[in-house]
């Protein structure tokens, strides 16, 4: 493990043949791990021209070289061809998945083929098994988790349970994979790819142990980083109020999307602030394995289900983005209701950001008369949490033609019913930051269409001046550093701790000396490989589009300047097209 080793240890499991192949794949020095490794594996095993649900498409889970060895190296990268946009995509999740994969002895797991019956794959260091779980068909995410703990027993406390709900089985384009109850491979439909493979669950058992790195400085380097993480105050905002601490500042800066982005601030923000959640609902914190920060905030929803004071209790993890999507975006300002909507969405196995934003569009489309209860079954109005809860169930269960379309994304529904101008879609349904031109343009083009692809959201909050070249340079440079983190795979919340030099020290300590000396080059290689794959699977950065609604927005900088925003989009798109240009034969 700690040798200067170029090989990745990868389990390729074919659901059709019900067997695995353990392969050693060279490329560590060029691809690092995580994002880079997933791209390498998609290059090798993916079918860029085939449909996302083609049984031959791989579903890839990759970790990084430092996973298990250093704190906050706690994420897994899932690589797949997205049913949402047909592009090569990545989604990231934590929980115990990363360490479980490490301690099961693999750098990556690749699942291919389609199982004959609904199945669960169990992978440990001395166990690989496919279990027929046809009886779990249609089960919600939490029931599935509870039953899988029994069905695939062993390694208690040291395993990770990945599973899908009805939405994944029904092929919703934004079905997610739930990881250990509170984390998700959320966006772009990894859950539907899993469903298309007839795979209800994956249980990773972290039941082996690895030797310590040979480097004498390992314990000290670990201690230094751990101290930085726990006592420097750098991570304070993540474990105190958590990301919902953003709500009031964003609202103040006219950057919080309200009611399908009809407004960017509202006097009711204090009702759903991070402070309000913490005071009223926060029950406890949880952590991804190997992370002492514990940013996972779990709130309690207490629902009286009978007038004689009978209560059901739900524990629901919250964060800024789920809160935004089930809260302000839908005009819901009671934290309990926000969590209750989230909970229902979670049970279906839907990505809450996509589902919430899609429903916000549906409310406006209802208001404008494009759709009615004939389509929506419940009357959708801003603020009506009960209706949204029901609608989440209806999307997850693909209840009728309308919900089937809405489950393919807001734009799919708008293509049929109209209302594309006010679809809040930037590559995918927008995240909870309406900070301005830089952010809107960047999210439209960027790799995962995620607010974390670049620092655009914070750039907007600091810069008023308009300078296309400066912004594009910022986006391109910022992405490179983030890709290095997602190759390792560090939690992006740790980016203040894992500065480039620290990452070099880590690689050297782990014995990857050659990689340590060329870390930037490798990260750049991984970044370009990702872009090439996205483009090879049909992405045209120049053809991306920012819906009209985003130019009707007012932020702290004033009304959005649509001309400037379009210039940013084109500038960044050109840069991305260049990054993803095919490798010339002599360079390959």
Residue 476 is inside which H or E element, if any? helix 468-488
The residue from 54, 209, 279, 540 that contacts another protein (CB under 8 A) is 209
**Which bin fits 32, alpha (ψ -120 to 50), beta or left (φ > 0)?**
left
Q: Which of 30, 44, 127, 158 is close enough to bind another protein by CB under 8 A?
A: 158
Q: With CB under 8 A as the rule, give the number of residues binding another protein.
A: 43
Q: Where does residue 223 rank: exposed (0-12), middle (13-18), buried (19+ CB within 10 A)? A: exposed
Give the interface segment with another protein, choosing from 188-196, 291-299, 401-409, 457-465 (CB under 8 A).
291-299
90: part of which helix (H) or strand (E)?
strand 88-93
Binding mask 295-314 for another protein (x = CB under 8 A): -x-x----------------
- Contacts of another protein in 112-151 (CB under 8 A): 126, 145-146, 149
| Among positions 13, 80, 182, 433, the unique one binding another protein when judged by CB under 8 A | 182
Closest CB to another protein among 126 and 309?
126
Q: In this structure, are strands 425-426 and 428-429 parallel, antiparallel, or unpaired?
A: antiparallel
Greatest alpha-carbon span in the chain: 76
- The reply to whether 211 sits near another protein by the rule CB under 8 A is yes
Site membership for another protein, residue 48 (CB under 8 A):
no
Q: Are 250 and 432 in contact (CB under 8 A)?
A: yes
Interface positions, 68-97, toward another protein (CB under 8 A): 68-69, 71
CA nearest neighbour of 91 among 112, 101, 76: 76
Smallest separation, CB 225 to another protein (Å) = 12
| Phi, psi values for residue 378, rounded to 5° | -115, 150
Based on the shown chain and the rule CB under 8 A, indicate whether residue 98 belongs to the binding site for another protein. no
Q: Does 418 bind another protein (CB under 8 A)?
A: no
- Which range, of 207-215, 243-251, 356-364, 524-532, touches another protein by CB under 8 A? 207-215
Alpha helices, DSSP H, located in 269-334: 274-280, 320-326
Q: Minimum CB separation from another protein for residue 69, in Å?
A: 6
Q: How far apart are the first and last CA of the chain?
A: 28
Instruction: Determine which residue in the list 162, 269, 287, 387 makes contact with another protein, applying CB under 8 A.
Output: 287
- Cβ(512)–Cβ(27) under 8 Å? no
| Rounded CA separation 326/93 (Å) | 20
Q: Which of 291, 413, 441, 565 binds another protein (CB under 8 A)?
A: 291
**Residue nearer to another protein on the CB measure, 69 or 88:** 69
Comparing CB distances to another protein, the nearer of 68 and 327 is: 68
Q: Residue 488 in contact with residue 66, Cβ under 8 Å?
A: yes
Q: Does 156 bind another protein (CB under 8 A)?
A: yes
Q: Which two tokens stand for residue 370?
A: 């494009």
Contact map string, positions 10 to 39, toward another protein, x by CB under 8 A: ------------------------------
Part in contact with another protein (CB under 8 A); list of ranges 24-32, 269-277, 280-288, 394-402? 280-288
Minimum CB distance to another protein, residue 216 (Å) = 12
Among 154, 132, 129, CA closest to 20? 129
Nearest approach, Cβ of residue 202 and another protein (Å): 17
CB of 180 to another protein, least distance (A): 6
Distances from the Cα of 243 to the Cα of 123, 203, 322, 446, angstroms: 33, 29, 10, 22
Cβ-based nearer residue to another protein, 229 or 483: 229
Distance CA 424, CA 433 (A): 12
Q: What are phi and psi of 223, to 5 degrees?
A: -60, -45
- CA dist 202 → 59, 62, 162, 317, 334 (Å): 12, 14, 5, 21, 35
Per-residue string for binding with another protein, 219-258, x by CB under 8 A? x--x---x---x----------------------------
What are phi and psi for residue 233, nearest 5 degrees? 85, -5
Give the binding site for another protein (CB under 8 A).
1, 68-69, 71, 99, 103, 126, 145-146, 149, 156-158, 180-182, 206-213, 218-219, 222, 226, 230, 284-294, 296, 298, 315
């Amino acid at each position: 493990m700690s040798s200067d080793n170029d090989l990745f240890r990868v389990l390729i499991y074919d659901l059709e043949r019900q067997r695995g192949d353990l392969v050693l794949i060279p490329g560590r020095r060029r691809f690092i791990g995580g994002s880079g490794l997933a791209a390498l594996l998609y290059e090798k095993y993916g079918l860029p021209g085939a449909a996302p649900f083609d049984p031959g498409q791989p579903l890839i889970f990759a970790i990084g070289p430092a996973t298990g060895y250093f704190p906050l190296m706690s994420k897994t990268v899932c690589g797949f061809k997205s049913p949402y946009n047909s592009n090569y995509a990545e989604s990231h999740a934590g929980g115990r998945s990363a360490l479980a994969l490490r301690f099961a002895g693999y750098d990556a797991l690749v699942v291919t083929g389609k199982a004959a019956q609904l199945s669960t794959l169990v992978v440990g260091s001395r166990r690989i098994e496919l279990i027929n779980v046809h009886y779990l068909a249609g089960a919600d995410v939490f029931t599935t988790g509870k039953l899988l703990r029994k069905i695939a027993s062993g390694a208690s406390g040291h395993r990770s349970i990945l599973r899908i709900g009805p939405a994944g089985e029904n092929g919703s384009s934004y079905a997610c994979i739930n990881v250990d109850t509170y984390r998700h491979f959320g966006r772009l439909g990894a859950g539907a790819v899993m469903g298309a493979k007839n795979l209800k669950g994956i249980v990773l058992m972290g039941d082996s142990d690895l030797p310590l790195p040979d480097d004498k400085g390992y314990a000290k380097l670990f201690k230094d980083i751990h101290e930085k993480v726990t006592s420097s105050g750098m991570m304070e905002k993540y474990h105190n109020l958590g990301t919902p601490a953003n709500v009031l500042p964003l609202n103040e800066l006219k950057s919080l999307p309200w009611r399908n982005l009809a407004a960017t601030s509202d006097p009711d923000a204090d009702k759903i602030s991070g402070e309000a959640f913490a005071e009223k609902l926060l029950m406890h914190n949880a952590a991804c394995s190997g992370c002492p920060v514990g940013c996972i905030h779990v709130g309690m929803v207490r629902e009286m289900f009978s007038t004689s004071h009978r209560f059901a209790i739900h524990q629901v993890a919250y964060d800024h983005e789920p809160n935004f999507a089930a809260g302000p975006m839908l005009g819901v300002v009671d934290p309990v209701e926000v969590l209750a909507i989230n909970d229902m969405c979670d049970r279906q196995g839907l990505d809450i950001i996509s589902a919430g934003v899609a429903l916000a569009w549906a409310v406006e489309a209802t208001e404008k008369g494009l759709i009615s209860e004939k389509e929506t079954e419940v009357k959708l109005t801003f603020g009506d949490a009960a209706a949204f809860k029901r609608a989440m169930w209806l999307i997850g269960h693909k209840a009728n033609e309308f919900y089937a379309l809405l489950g393919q994304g807001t734009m799919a529904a708008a293509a049929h019913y109209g209302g594309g101008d006010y679809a809040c879609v930037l590559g995918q349904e927008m995240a909870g930051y309406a900070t301005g031109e830089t952010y809107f343009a960047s999210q439209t083009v960027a790799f995962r269409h995620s607010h974390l692809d670049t620092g655009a959201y914070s750039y907007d909050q600091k810069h008023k001046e308009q300078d296309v070249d400066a912004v594009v340079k910022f986006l391109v440079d910022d992405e490179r550093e983030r890709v290095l983190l997602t190759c390792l795979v560090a939690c992006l919340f740790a980016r203040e701790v894992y500065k480039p030099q620290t990452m070099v020290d880590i690689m050297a300590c782990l014995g990857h000396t050659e990689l340590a000396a060329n870390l930037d080059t490798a990260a750049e290689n991984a970044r370009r490989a990702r872009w090439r794959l996205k483009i090879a699977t049909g992405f045209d950065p120049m053809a991306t589009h920012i819906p009209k609604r985003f130019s009707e927005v007012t932020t702290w900088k004033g009304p959005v300047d649509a001309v400037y925003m379009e210039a940013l989009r084109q500038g960044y798109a050109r840069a991305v097209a260049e990054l993803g240009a095919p490798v010339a034969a002599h360079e390959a």
